[in-house]
Amino acid sequence: MKRESTYESWIQAEGIPILGGFGIEDINAVAKEPWSRTGGKGAFLQLKGLEGFTGVYVGEIFSGGALNPEKHLYEEMIYILQGMGATEVWSNSAQKVQFEFQPGSLFALPLNSWHRLVNGSKEPVIYLAVTSAPLIMDLLHDPEFIFGCDYTFDQRFDGRPDYFTPTTKRGESLKGFWVWESNFMSDIVSAPLDSAERKGAGVRITAVEMSGSSLVGHIAEWPIGRYHKAHHHQGGAVLLILRSEGYTLMWPQEAGIRPYESGRGDQVIKVDWKVGSVFSPPTGWFHQHFNTGAEKARQLAFRYSGHSGKYLLGIVKALNKEGVRTSTRDGGTLIEYEDEDPQIRRDYEATVTRRGGMMQMPKEVYQRLQSASADGRM
């Protein structure tokens, strides 16, 4: 008999749907059921790549309604998929602060602060929430304490009126990512991003940190007709597509950096995506994102801070080792374009051409690959 963790037992007891698999094609279309705890509707996602690191659910607020006030000892980030409204946040020692949200808004709820989401539109508000609940519940084994603790983390939330006022504060981290610090971002779908060519041709990435949390994220964008370099890291990351359409390839590290060439192509999983798709690569699985749409692709990644953040989570730092910006040649987890399986490039070019487009990858990114082929080394 398979035993359940405290978190797994808790989500079963909440009485709303639980969806599995590698990903969900359209989070907006997920069937949700009334959720007595929140006063709205909801459904949990137990994707294969979450692995007890991260909790995910999709929630709904009825038209003209509001969620029940709630606080908890786990971190939570919320992205608004549909609808408009307001969030109220307060604590035992801090006054209530309110801010309005819209589709594309991203914010983090300060640890153990009271909060309530209110629907200010005629349509339902639909949101995606990512939490550290599995880690906290599996350590404490006491949901009543997690939801009922009266301790206030004043260093996280002090009730100042401008706490959720959007900021443009950005700084470069030790690992080369630009980090945007703001407890509320009104529209991340159109927000400007920073160059991150190390991750791929034309790729732009900005990391985000909110409300003093170790649960952080980043926003990535890449051009029409291009794709990311493959990389791997620990599980628990949650990827949400904000713009365009395409697909992601995922394969276990054991299949090597060239799975097709080594006869292990049957281990490669292809996840097709569009706006609203959610997926999660398992620990140690290479994954590579391909834009096949007619506009720049944009993705929001929820993850824990392992190298580039202000508050690092030690287990993530250890599992990521040299990090996702370092080549596999140097002990990292990033496959350079010239080292990737040639079948990956051929399949992508054929897919884009079939859809009436054109692959726009710069030729120079394959220069070493072409040189090796000409020398008879491939």
What's the pLDDT at 53? 95
| Position 326 confidence tier, pLDDT thresholds 50, 70, 90 | confident
Q: Judge whether 248 lies within some domain.
A: yes
| In a shared domain, residues 135 and 237 | no
Q: Tokens 């909790």 identify what position?
A: 55
Q: How far apart are CA 55 and CA 147, in angstroms?
A: 16
What's the pLDDT at 377? 37
* Cα angle value 218/224/230 (rounded, 5°): 55
Cα atoms in the 13 Å half-sphere on the side-chain side of 312: 13
Q: What are phi and psi of 140, to 5 degrees?
A: -95, -30
| In a shared domain, residues 78 and 227 | no
| In a shared domain, residues 180 and 136 | no
| In a shared domain, residues 292 and 191 | yes
Q: Judge whether 263 lies within some domain.
A: yes
Q: What are phi and psi of 77, to 5 degrees?
A: -115, 140
Q: Tokens 């939801």 identify what position?
A: 147
| In a shared domain, residues 264 and 315 | yes
Classify each residue of 266-294 as buried b or exposed e, where b means 16 or more C-beta atoms within 10 Å of its C-beta: ebbbebebebbbbbbbbbebbbbbbbbbe
341-377: per-residue pLDDT in tens?
999 999 999 999 999 999 999 988 987 644 444 443 3
Beta-bridge partner residues of 89: 97, 115
Q: How far apart are CA 130 and CA 43, in angstroms?
A: 12
| Position 177 confidence tier, pLDDT thresholds 50, 70, 90 | confident
Domain boundary among 116, 148, 180: 148
Nearest by Cα to 98 from 88, 108, 83? 88
pTM metric for this prediction: 0.93
Taking the CA atoms of residue 125, residue 27, residue 241 and residue 25 in that order, the dihedral angle to the nearest 10 degrees is: -160
Domain that holds residue 292: 170-367
Rounded percentage of the chain residues whose pLDDT exceeds 90: 82
| In a shared domain, residues 219 and 296 | yes
| pLDDT at 100 > cutoff 90 | yes
The pair of three-digit structure tokens given for residue 217, joined into one six-digit string = 């994220």
The pair of three-digit structure tokens given for residue 179, joined into one six-digit string = 């980090």
The pair of three-digit structure tokens given for residue 42, joined into one six-digit string = 């909801």
- The stretch 200-216 carries a mean pLDDT of 94
Domain boundary among 148, 182, 199: 148
Cα atoms in the 13 Å half-sphere on the side-chain side of 172: 6
| In a shared domain, residues 196 and 130 | no
The chain-wide mean pLDDT, for the chain, equals 92
What's the pLDDT at 311? 67
What's the pLDDT at 111? 96
- The stretch 151-174 carries a mean pLDDT of 88
Question: Quick check: 4 and 12 in contact, CB under 8 A?
Answer: yes
| In a shared domain, residues 238 and 302 | yes
Question: Quick check: 103 and 80 in contact, CB under 8 A?
Answer: yes
DSSP assignment letter at 73: S
Q: Judge whether 156 lies within some domain.
A: no
Taking the CA atoms of residue 281, residue 273, residue 7 and residue 317 in that order, the dihedral angle to the nearest 10 degrees is: 30
Domains in the chain, number = 2
| In a shared domain, residues 141 and 180 | no
Q: Which of 77-91, 238-252, 307-321, 351-365 has the lowest mean pLDDT?
A: 307-321
| In a shared domain, residues 264 and 226 | yes
What's the pLDDT at 6? 97
| In a shared domain, residues 131 and 187 | no
43-61: per-residue pLDDT in tens?
999 999 999 999 999 999 9
Q: Judge whether 257 lies within some domain.
A: yes
DSSP assignment letter at 32: -
Q: Judge whether 158 lies within some domain.
A: no
| Position 218 confidence tier, pLDDT thresholds 50, 70, 90 | very high
| In a shared domain, residues 222 and 311 | yes
Query: Which contiguous run of DSSP H or E holds residue 360?
Result: none
Question: Quick check: 309 and 173 in contact, CB under 8 A?
Answer: yes
Q: Judge whether 265 lies within some domain.
A: yes
| pLDDT at 233 > cutoff 70 | yes
Q: Judge whether 162 lies within some domain.
A: no
Q: Judge whether 377 lies within some domain.
A: no
CATH number at residue 97: 2.60.120.10
Q: How far apart are CA 215 and CA 206, in angstroms?
A: 15
Amino acid identity, residue 136?
I
| pLDDT at 264 > cutoff 50 | yes
